[in-house]
Structure 1
Amino acid sequence: MMQNTLMTLAMCMLVAAMAGCAPTPPAVMRVRFDPRQGKPVLHIEPQPDGSTGPGVEITIRAIGDDESKDKVILTRTCDGSPETIKLPKVKNARAVGITARPVLEDKVATPKEYRTLPPGVKIEKYTGDPDWDRPKDFDAFWKRAKADLANVPMNARVVEVPEKATATGRLFRVALDSTEGVTFICWLYVPKDTSRTYPAIQTMPGYGAAQNPNDLTAQGFVTLAVNPRGHGVSGEFWPLPNDHYAYHIDNPDRYYYRNAYLDCLRALEFLRTRPEVDKK
């Protein structure tokens, strides 16, 4: 009995030692795309733990009417150091596309794809691709949708999360009611300095992802991170279907993205009620 116990203990110690000696997979640098003010740039950043990984391969291309003829205008490999790449101006292109692929030693990493606005167009003045025609009932559809939202009381429940406060900001968990009786969650960061008002930034998640709190109070912004129905912590109230992109796609008034967009509109309405926000 004692012999078996000692053998088992020795095997456990050997497995633990082997696990401790296993090579650590290389960290992958984060790539953040910033399209604000119509002057898009890529920010190459280390991971939150400070590690940088082996680098990132960047390919920038001009996108024309025929994407099979995209013109590559810049390729480079960034090393492990954080840096910012200003995107070049390109004539006669509908947009500029960027592919960021982490450089890994033992496997092909999944690239991240980004796309800018057409060169020279500021984001606040962008009205969409001229080749995309609006349906004839577009305005009537959204007028009806916004009327549906207006019939639902906002019923904002704002609860501070003091353990997530930063040197310059306070965090609040915000629950809002929206169409079809659905509640969704936002994260609100506001500056601690209440002597003035601040511009606000609202962010939304990618497909099926969570939108985590985003503290920009040190830069002088109020931020509202929105989790539309089913996304992130909002899944507590409305579980997100696996195929939510097609949820009620045969019924425009119940289609998932119609109501998810209304969630985002409701969040904007909430922002306008906040005393910290500059309404201009």
Structure 2
Amino acid sequence: MIKLFAIPAHDRRLIPEGRLSGPMPWVIAIMIFLTVLAAGAGLAMTRAMGDVSDQLASRATVQIIEANPQIRGDQAAAAAQRLRAMPLVDEVRVLPPEEIEALIEPWLGSRDLAGDIPLPALIDLKLVRAGSESDYSALRSALAPVAPDARVEPSSGYIAPVISLVRSFQWIAFGLVALLALATGAAVIISARSALNTHSETIAVVHLLGGTDQQISRLFQRRIALDALLGGLIGLVGGAAIIWLIGTQLTALGSGLVESVGLDWWSWLIIAAIPILGMFLAMITARWTVIGALTKIL
């Protein structure tokens, strides 16, 4: 790497390096910009899934489905008392009827639902650890004598379809990163071949003076690496600004799952490394392209 950028000035003048004068830096900037956005989306969804899964792994819901409101209320009170006495349970909260009506209002309207249909009693549980199937079986067994109509369900089951959808989007985002990497490599190949054709007479003279393929390839590597790094930094700044703007808007929404869609410090480190990785990809691709072309020509 040090040898690559320590080429003498008189050798570098063999292949002029005009910063931002050609299309290569701008093509790389666009590719890195899109890569940063795709990688940011994938990393944000990875964090969101982890946070939501961790939060819901230790939570459960008890439903008491009974048409008679008196029996339903008695069973809910008895179930809550039994649950508070269990070492597995950390917190117990019985949802009031008006909160249950607010939960189903978007689907059934805002009229007085309790008088029209029997609403189940709901108890929100927070466990001391992530619940296993045996833990939920123990909860059901403990509630059976005092609340035979109780159903214990892990909270993660209610959001499982959403998690599956987010995971699909995550793989799509990382797939786009891979496709953009391939597109960047293809752009470097086209640029390297174009530079070879442009400087074919200079290459022939360098060979006549005793220059080797390795020396010539280093010149092209350096030029393409600098173009890729400069374009990558431009794309990084643009992509990071877009991610920050979207993140602030999502945070303002105040929704639990949406608030989890953010980036932590190690995600930002990965994003910051994208221009460096793009530069190495461009260097390797340029080297293979130039060496291969020179081998066929000479």
TM-score range, shorter-chain basis?
Answer: under 0.3
Higher helix share: 2
TM-score relative to the length of structure 1: 0.23
TM-score relative to the length of structure 2: 0.22
Q: Which of structures 1 and 2 has the larger relative contact order (alpha carbons within 8 angstroms, sep 6+)?
A: 2
Higher strand share: 1
